Structure 1
Amino acid sequence: MTVLEPFGARLRRAMDERGPLCVGIDPHAALLSAWGLNDDIDGLERFTRISVEALADTVAVVKPQSAFFERFGSRGVAVLERAVADLRAAGTLVVMDAKRGDIGSTMAAYAETFLHKDSPLFSDALTVSPYLGYGSLKPAVDLARESGAGLFVLALTSNPEGGEVQHAVRADGRNVGATMLAHLAEENAGETPMGSFGAVVGATLGDLSSYDLDINGPLLAPGIGAQGATPADLPAVFGAAARNVVPNVSRAVLKAGPSVGALREASVRFADEVRAAVASA
């Protein structure tokens, strides 16, 4: 199996060259309708082709939401496979937003689906859920290392329901979210220019100075745009870790479609705003 340069190094270079931004591809029914498309496989294919044409070769990272493709069955997954291949061929990093989390051989199978170089859905990184215990992610961690891919582990998410688990305090006095960050710091120890194992940390959470966000890895930050956060908020939320933040924007960019040019302009504008905000941190 051909081993890629580690994801963390490839991501750092892409962020420096194209701007620190991840754009989501989320073809949900309301967005298809807003683009004048039917909520069917033809609409999905058209939406995806336009998104890939606009974003490939433009932004550092694209994050397809697997669920919106899976709902169309095998034909939807085929559209996702083509999008992943086309984006990666254009030099755009793909983070598959699948939030997989299980144990043993099942977790290993999920890892092989998205992190094995011979898989048609091979992605540069995968979002995963650690809430069957961080150790349950070991098959994904191991395969990511082997293939040069990365992981984004749910740590401090922007959805309000997440707090009941992520803010729960362990016997050692540290809460669950902080524990996940500590595990990731261990995974990334000694890696340069940064490690390949990142955390999902919401940009809408306000002051996070009580958390050690210096995990020597990327922080995927949902919440910019439709959820209310702005690029200017990043320094206050992430502090010294802001340089490693990859803000995720979906609806705020996708609403510019179906014009390819307008989508590109929106993504470039957000990337420039993020770059300026981080530079001032």
Structure 2
Amino acid sequence: MTEPFGTRLRRAMDERGPLCVGVDPHASLLAEWGLDDDVAGLERFSRTVVEAVADRVAVLKPQSAFFERFGSRGVAVLEKSVAEARAAGALVVMDAKRGDIGSTMAAYAESFLHRDAPLFSDALTVSPYLGYGSLKPAVDMAREHGAGLFVLALTSNPEGAEVQHAVRGDGRGVGATMLAHLAAENAGEEPLGSFGAVVGATLGDLSSYDLEIGGPLLAPGIGAQGATPADLPGVFGRAVRNVVPNVSRGVLRHGPDAGALRASAERFAEEIRAAVAAV
């Protein structure tokens, strides 16, 4: 039986350091690397990142949209990248932010969370804003196949506040409600549950929220968006040990030199490890 995602993630974070490197091959970054904005450039970019860091970081997070824009050939590159990253020991979080209802949500879940699917990933980002219950097909599939979910809860984009900070009739905020749902999913799971939240590292003091959900917190915003590893304890408090900070451009801007990519990822991982250890 496959170990749950949370168990595998806890081990990877302890052994490799708590760092997630985003794989975001957008057009401007391809140009910075001297690559054409085509499938060949996409494949060269992705292969370089995977070969440089997948054997040493805990998590890689490809952004599906940057592959999908090239159609079936781009998705084929994504499939290969996911398989090669997992073979090198990294856990893969597919950043696709899927969210729908009923059979459509079940199909999304099967696409990314069924172990036999070509795009099987260790975890998937999902949107709960058709109601948390709409995620049930993905929750069930993840449990069955030892995968995980990262649910959008308190995102770093300014537009997110109009939904996530809205207050329900019972006085609880929408973002806080999502965190409570995840805590219930993870109840009793050790050493770490498989159902995590996306919580921005740029949001400042979040002590008014209960971030100790028993699962991981995927934290975008380190590097180009302005947050630093040293900021993590002030944002996440006692939950910081379960934070998986995501760095994308902060690492990727050092390409296409594989050695420079590797050195940057290792530097971020060590700075994050030191910040967490200080709590």
Q: Under a length normalisation based on structure 1, what TM-score does the superposition of the two structures give?
A: 0.99
1:194 aligns to what?
192
1:159 aligns to what?
157
Asked whether 1:121 is paired with 2:119, we answer yes
For 2:164, the aligned partner's letter is Q
> Secondary structure in 2 aligned to 1:226?
coil
Q: 1:106-128 CA distances to partner (integer Å, 9 max, x unpaired)?
A: 00000000000000100000000
Q: Under a length normalisation based on structure 2, what TM-score does the superposition of the two structures give?
A: 1.00
Measure the CA separation in 1 of the matches of 2:40 and 2:120. 24
Long gaps (5+) in structure 1: none
For 2:123, the aligned partner's letter is A
Long gaps (5+) in structure 2: none
Superposition map of 1:1-281 within 5 A: 3-281=1-279
Q: 1:38-81 CA distances to partner (integer Å, 9 max, x unpaired)?
A: 00011001001101101111100000000000000000000000
For 2:110, the aligned partner's letter is E
Measure the CA separation in 2 of the matches of 1:4 and 1:44. 32
Q: 1:225-261 CA distances to partner (integer Å, 9 max, x unpaired)?
A: 0000000000000000000000000000000000011
Task: Give the Å deviation of 1:102.
Answer: 0.1
Percent of aligned pairs with the same amino acid: 82
For 1:179, the aligned partner's letter is T
Task: Give the Å deviation of 1:167.
Answer: 0.2
For 2:67, the aligned partner's letter is F
Runs of 4+ in 1 over 3 A off after TM superposition: none
Measure the CA separation in 2 of the matches of 1:56 and 1:224. 19
Superposed CA RMSD = 0.4
